Structure 1
Amino acid sequence: MKTIFSALFAGAAMLLLAGCLSVETVPAAETAPAAPAGNAVENPVKKEAEKAAPARPSRGAAEEEAIRFAGPGRNPVVVFDAGFSSKPADPECGGAMKQLADAGYTELFRFSCDPKLDIPGNAAKLHEFLSGLRAQLQKKYAEKYPKTKCDIRFDLFAPGVSGLLARYYLRYGGQLLPENGISLPLLDWRGAGLVDKVILVGTPSDGTLGVFAEMVGRTLPDPAAPVLSGVPAAASPAAYQMLPGVNGGTVHYADAPDGPALDLFDPAVWSANRWGLADPAVQAASKDAAERLDLYLRRARQFRTAMDTPAQPPKNVALFLFVGNGVPTASRLLVDRRTGRLSIADYAPGDGRATVASARFDRRGGKAEPPFSQSPILWQAVTHLPVGYADYFRSDSFWDDVRYYLLMFPTDRQRELYHLNRK
């Protein structure tokens, strides 16, 4: 079990949970590290192919003009830490900062999640961060561009499960989940008042079995895997909000593999299988473990309902999804009733962490009808890439598309503002 889950799920729960303990901004000039190094072992076949391949074409005139465009009309970009660590060399955050700096962005900022808070708690931190940053930039732009109205909005680059935070913030702003554990925050798109575009990369919109496996694993974590910043997955409230829905993956009993999927948001299921905070040894060491488990699962179901609710976004909002389908990704697990041990029963296309169905939040569940993707998320565009998670950030074509969406693709609000598509 250790070998299987180390290979497939190592670090999956770290995506959101292992960020810095505080929100920070990092100017682009200070966070533009070198691009991630390639493979240490030279591949002679690849080397010859690269020699034979034509040179990568330079940017076209239109993109060069877009890159030179600056000032209040260019949205500042906030890059979220994917969660592996807060080191600038991480390809998810540091690499994005460099790529965007190369695209002419001078207003680049970094947001790190607090692993001790749940996703709505981090949304409240994000709102405080964006509101303060907006006030600073408005003052700066008013001095630099006195004749221009500065209605500042941000674009977000959100890799991995930080995309869940970005989506929650768009819909609910900095609202926390109601304390009763049942009712929902007001879906008024208040976060859209500060945000225009969001780039999501491999986000498990319908959850991931990888996080679940880390939470209930009965062996020690792989020592080579990234560590949670002192916060075990089973003790983090945000981890429960990443548990999969039906398209994120299912768990069944090994003696009834074709039976109904287990309800992973039911405390009784966790108690029956002695998972995580329901493990008797954990409860013996922590008197409030059972109480916290019940609270985390109740709020996770509440969060899931809030994220599942379909809603038409405002005109200024555009969501772009990049999803990999190059790695078989666990989509169904079996659990032994006696031991609680897990095994992989099925795989689905994905990037090794999120299945394609989870990333798109396609609720058809493998059914042929209706013939179109059915998602509560109104995607502006979905780009499928034949890659695994880490390979997104090494792909030139990926960054070409990211730059195009951020620099040149207008939202409906921007079409009206700049009188685009008019005679």
Structure 2
Amino acid sequence: MLGSAGFRDESLARSGAVDYGDDHFTCFQFGYDWRLDNADNARRLDDFIHRKKAYVEAQLRRRGIEREVRFDVVAHSMGALLTRYYLRYGRQPLPADGSLPQLTWAGARLVERAILVGPPNGGSLVVLERIVRGHKPGAFLPRYPPAVIGSFPSVYQLLPRSRHGAYVDAGHRRQLDLFDPALWQRLGWGLADPRQDEVLAWLLPDVGARNERRRLARAALARHLDRARRFHAALDRPATPPAGTTLVLVAGDAVPTAASIAIDLDGGDFEVASRAPGDGIVLRSSALMDERRISDWRATLRSPIAWHAVTFFFDDHLGLVRDPTFTDNVLYQLLEEPRRPFDDARREGQSDRLPGTVSRK
């Protein structure tokens, strides 16, 4: 994401392509395996931040500066979900007993500001299409079949919540629970698609029997759906960051974006039933994690996320980070915007969140 916006980290300097001088030692990119569970990647992010904290503090000491380092994080799309989990729970995994992790805000102790760009906080229906129908990301790239996409735990954590009315029965328009493995088996989707056995044989080379491959695939599907449901519950519990940590949202709201799909329960096909403002991938309401519904509508936002500031752009999901206005504003928020000292904020025991702060391009 940062690369498409023009950012280049220290690896480019090491290659000799750019001379950043001696003072470019505080900017880093966290490269993570986006196929893996986001809670697992939060542990890797914690290790990464602690390594960089030690490195930056050592560099500062060389310059005669003694201070504790905290970081700002800019995260795009799924990286924003990983960041939010890390802020709330640090390196805690999702408990094996099905309970929620303890809300400690351990990651927030090391993060001063998180700028979340196009975050699918409430999920994205584009992901479901890729799990069910496969995905070809580009003309010169291979097509990834449904069973391959469906083997990634992270993609299920990007699905919209059933309570938001994203999935309806095409025949009766009743809401469906997409996190019920029985529904996937009935529809023959993803890892439950019997036509994917050739792919499963490639993914499970040591399993010779077709029936055993299908059993293992269905078991993995059930685990991924259950884990996604618990990951959502961990992120959806209302909570305000501790004093000294703020959340900033950058989102698009000018591109018609899939808001609900109608599913044929007999044939397994589906089509977009409604669209709403978004960035083409993520709905405006998903980015905000807006819990307002028509049945209980009110003017002010109702979200489990305590936003410090919100900015909307007339751009699509990737166009957000290429917009010069985005760069302009993010640089101000990172480098110039006044902030209260961390120790003062902690002593006062309150966040510097500004409720209702919304700006537009």
1:131 aligns with 2:114: no
How far does residue 165 in structure 1 lie from its aligned partner after superposition?
A: 0.4
TM-score by length of 2: 0.81
Question: Which deviations, in whole Å up to 9, do the C-alpha atoms of 1:236-284 show, x marking residues without a partner?
Answer: 0011111101587612121123x2x211111111111111111234464
Q: Show the 5 A alignment for 1:322-361.
A: 322-361=250-289
Match of 1:255 in 2: 171
Match of 1:204 in 2: 120
1:279 equivalent among 193, 196, 209 = 193
SS at match of 2:191: helix
Cα contact 1:173–1:191 (8 A) shared by 2 = yes
Give every structure 1 segment of 4 or more consecutive aligned residues whose post-TM-superposition deviation is greater than 4 Å.
Answer: 225-231, 246-249
1:243 aligns with 2:162: no
1:112 aligns with 2:28: no
Cα contact 1:159–1:202 (8 A) shared by 2 = yes
Counterpart-to-counterpart distance in 1, 2:140 and 2:253: 23
SS at match of 1:295: helix
Question: Which deviations, in whole Å up to 9, do the C-alpha atoms of 1:302-331 show, x marking residues without a partner?
Answer: 101000011121111111111101210011
SS at match of 1:252: strand
Counterpart-to-counterpart distance in 2, 1:415 and 1:323: 31
In 2 relative to 1, CA 323–119 (structure 1 residues): closer, same or farther, beyond 3 Å? same
SS at match of 1:110: coil
In 2 relative to 1, CA 354–248 (structure 1 residues): closer, same or farther, beyond 3 Å? farther
How far does residue 29 in structure 1 lie from its aligned partner after superposition?
A: 5.0
Counterpart-to-counterpart distance in 2, 1:159 and 1:206: 14
1:313 aligns with 2:229: no
Cα contact 1:282–1:289 (8 A) shared by 2 = no
1:317 is matched by which residue type in structure 2? Answer: T
1:184 aligns with 2:100: yes
Q: Show the 5 A alignment for 1:62-211.
A: 106-145=25-64, 148-180=65-97, 182-211=98-127
In 2 relative to 1, CA 205–248 (structure 1 residues): closer, same or farther, beyond 3 Å? farther
1:184 is matched by which residue type in structure 2? Answer: L
2:158 is matched by which residue type in structure 1? Answer: M
SS at match of 1:235: coil
1:289 aligns with 2:272: no
In 2 relative to 1, CA 170–405 (structure 1 residues): closer, same or farther, beyond 3 Å? same
1:140 is matched by which residue type in structure 2? Answer: Q
Cα contact 1:332–1:347 (8 A) shared by 2 = yes
Cα contact 2:90–2:105 (8 A) shared by 1 = yes
In 2 relative to 1, CA 413–188 (structure 1 residues): closer, same or farther, beyond 3 Å? farther
Counterpart-to-counterpart distance in 1, 2:287 and 2:142: 24
SS at match of 2:177: coil
1:304 is matched by which residue type in structure 2? Answer: H
SS at match of 1:288: helix
Question: Which deviations, in whole Å up to 9, do the C-alpha atoms of 1:314-352 show, x marking residues without a partner?
Answer: 111111111101210011111222221121111000000
1:30 aligns with 2:19: no
Cα contact 1:28–1:107 (8 A) shared by 2 = no
1:378 aligns with 2:306: yes
Match of 2:349 in 1: none
2:149 equivalent among 233, 237, 244 = 233
1:236 is matched by which residue type in structure 2? Answer: F
How far does residue 141 in structure 1 lie from its aligned partner after superposition?
A: 1.4
In 2 relative to 1, CA 269–321 (structure 1 residues): closer, same or farther, beyond 3 Å? same
2:13 is matched by which residue type in structure 1? Answer: E
Counterpart-to-counterpart distance in 2, 1:226 and 1:412: 47
How far does residue 223 in structure 1 lie from its aligned partner after superposition?
A: 5.4
How far does residue 216 in structure 1 lie from its aligned partner after superposition?
A: 1.2
Counterpart-to-counterpart distance in 2, 1:157 and 1:213: 27
Counterpart-to-counterpart distance in 2, 1:107 and 1:263: 45
Equivalences, count: 323
Structure 2 stretches lacking a partner, 5+ long: 2-7, 198-209, 346-351, 353-361
Superposition RMSD in Å: 3.1
Counterpart-to-counterpart distance in 2, 1:195 and 1:31: 26
Cα contact 1:247–1:357 (8 A) shared by 2 = no
Cα contact 1:177–1:184 (8 A) shared by 2 = yes
1:272 is matched by which residue type in structure 2? Answer: R
Counterpart-to-counterpart distance in 1, 2:135 and 2:69: 47
Cα contact 1:318–1:411 (8 A) shared by 2 = no
TM-score by length of 1: 0.70
1:269 equivalent among 171, 180, 183 = 183
In 2 relative to 1, CA 267–152 (structure 1 residues): closer, same or farther, beyond 3 Å? same
